[in-house]
């Protein structure tokens, strides 16, 4: 009778567990006992190998059926051979767990690498940000060479298999028990190298040119927001897809309005008689319209009058913010003698009124 521990017990799953449950249990234990997380622990390393062995059997329908019927004896004769680099059996599994690419080794070749992203800054006026606009942004960046269509090869010349990666487009390096895989730096992930370089781009696959990109800024966009324009970044090596263009928005100061989120704030000065007696004032809006605000009699300096829905559109959904009008009262710096007498008479009258 085998001294080996039961595979189901190793993974802490029932014998009726589904493939997904087994996979989930193994992922949890593999992360727990991974050698990189347990530096120098022979016990963790041994446990990691055991749970990996258990997963290899229970994730294979044929091996699992034999194991369920005959136990460990049913796997003798090489059915559960784990010799050599144990991790070579789980490259696809680790690729799924950790995102492939530059993670655990053995990921499938994915073709030429994507080009790098670009980032630019674009200043907008408050009007442009509130109402939305389209801007033509000029870039001086590498673009795909037309003569070689981005391959870097002279027209009519052939490509040869990359000797570094053997045409796979990826190279693997070992770190402990794990094989890390990344795009081959020699061929850029394409698996092939130019034999005779294109004269226009000197084999680079791109040339530097000025180009213009039309970018749409939606109504309500604010300073600090970032827009992504897909496929307008740098071209990928060996004809790979282009990266993205990211546009960071800056908001210019406005002479009449301040912005706080979806709210607009403005200040309007009225005279002392208007503040005392009340009045109606016209507030010019960002879109060129006029909004009339009623000032109640006795309005004090610093009073805020709010008009809902007259602010900035919500860039993420329906509705708009509010317009806040801060009332300021003008105080004359110079007055005539007659005005001074009238003000004193008014002061006396106000004191009498207050006493009544």
- How does pLDDT run across 58-71, given as a tens digit for each residue? 988 888 888 887 78
- Asked if the model's pLDDT at residue 239 lies above 90, the reply is no
pTM: 0.53
Predicted local distance difference test score (pLDDT) of residue 333: 85
- Phi first, then psi: give them for residue 257, nearest 5 degrees: -120, 145
- Asked if the model's pLDDT at residue 84 lies above 50, the reply is no
Predicted local distance difference test score (pLDDT) of residue 3: 67
Nearest to 115 by CA among 245, 228, 247, 241: 241
- Asked if the model's pLDDT at residue 83 lies above 70, the reply is no
Cβ atoms < 10 Å from Cβ of 112: 22
Predicted local distance difference test score (pLDDT) of residue 127: 95
Predicted local distance difference test score (pLDDT) of residue 199: 79
- Let me know if 227 is exposed, middle or buried by CB neighbors in 10 A (0-12, 13-18, 19+): middle
- Asked if the model's pLDDT at residue 296 lies above 70, the reply is yes
Predicted local distance difference test score (pLDDT) of residue 159: 73
Average the pLDDT over each of 11-20, 86-95, 345-354 and give the range with the smallest value: 86-95
- Asked if the model's pLDDT at residue 133 lies above 80, the reply is yes
The angle formed by the CA atoms of residues 196, 200 and 204, to the nearest 5 degrees, is 65
- Asked if the model's pLDDT at residue 97 lies above 70, the reply is no
Mean pLDDT of the 216-229 span: 93
Buried/exposed 12-51: b ≥16 CB within 10 Å, e otherwise: ebeeebeeeebbebbbebbeebebeeeeeeeebbebbebb
- Cross-strand partners of 103: none
Predicted local distance difference test score (pLDDT) of residue 204: 74
The answer to whether the Cα torsion of 218, 221, 223, 225 is positive or negative is negative
- Asked if the model's pLDDT at residue 82 lies above 70, the reply is no
Mean pLDDT of the 156-164 span: 74
- DSSP code per residue over 75-129: GTTTTT---S-GGGGGHHHHHHHHTSTTSBS-PPP--SPPPPPEEEEEEE-HHHH
Predicted local distance difference test score (pLDDT) of residue 99: 40
- Asked if the model's pLDDT at residue 118 lies above 50, the reply is yes
| E strand or H helix at 53 | helix 42-58
Between 141 and 74, residue with greater pLDDT: 141
Mean pLDDT of the 84-105 span: 43
Q: What is the mean pLDDT of the chain?
A: 81
Region class of 189: left (phi > 0), else alpha (psi between -120 and 50), else beta: left
Domains of the chain: 7-83 (1.10.287.110), 91-112+159-194 (2.10.230), 118-156+197-251 (2.60.260.20), 258-329 (2.60.260.20)
Q: What percent of the chain has pLDDT over 90?
A: 34
Q: How confident is the model at residue 155 (pLDDT cuts 50, 70, 90)?
A: confident
């Amino acid at each position: 009778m085998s001294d080996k521990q039961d595979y189901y017990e190793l993974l802490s799953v029932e014998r009726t567990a589904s493939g997904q449950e087994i996979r989930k249990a193994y992922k949890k234990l593999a992360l727990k006992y991974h050698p990189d997380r347990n530096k120098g622990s022979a016990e963790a390393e041994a446990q990691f190998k055991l749970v990996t062995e258990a997963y290899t059997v229970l994730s294979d329908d044929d091996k699992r059926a034999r194991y369920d019927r005959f136990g460990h004896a049913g796997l003798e004769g090489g059915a559960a051979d784990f010799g050599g680099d144990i991790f070579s059996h789980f490259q696809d599994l680790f690729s799924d767990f950790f995102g492939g690419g530059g993670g655990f080794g053995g990921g499938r070749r994915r073709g030429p690498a994507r080009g790098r992203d670009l980032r630019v800054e674009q200043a907008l006026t408050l009007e442009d940000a509130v109402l939305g606009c389209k801007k033509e942004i000029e870039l001086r960046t590498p673009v795909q060479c037309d003569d070689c269509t981005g391959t870097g090869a002279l027209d009519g010349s052939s490509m040869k298999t990359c000797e570094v990666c053997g045409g796979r487009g990826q190279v693997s390096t070992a770190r402990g028990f794990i094989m890390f895989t990344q795009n081959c730096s020699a061929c850029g992930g394409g698996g092939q190298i130019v034999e005779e370089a294109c004269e226009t781009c000197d084999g680079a696959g791109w040339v530097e040119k000025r180009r213009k990109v039309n970018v749409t800024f939606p109504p309500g966009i604010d300073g600090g927001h970032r827009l992504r324009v897909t496929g307008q970044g740098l071209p990928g090596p060996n004809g790979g897809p282009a990266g993205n263009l990211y546009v960071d928005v800056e908001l210019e100061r406005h002479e009449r309005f301040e912005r706080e989120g979806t709210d607009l704030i403005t200040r309007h000065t009225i005279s002392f008689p208007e503040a005392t007696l009340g009045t109606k004032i016209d507030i010019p809006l960002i879109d060129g319209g006029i909004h009339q605000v009623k000032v109640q009699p006795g309005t004090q300096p610093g009073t805020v009058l709010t008009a809902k829905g007259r602010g900035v559109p919500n860039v993420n959904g329906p509705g708009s913010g509010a317009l806040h009008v801060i009332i300021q009262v003008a105080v004359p710096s110079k007055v005539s003698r007659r005005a001074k007498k009238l003000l004193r008479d008014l002061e006396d009258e106000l004191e009498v009124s207050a006493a009544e």
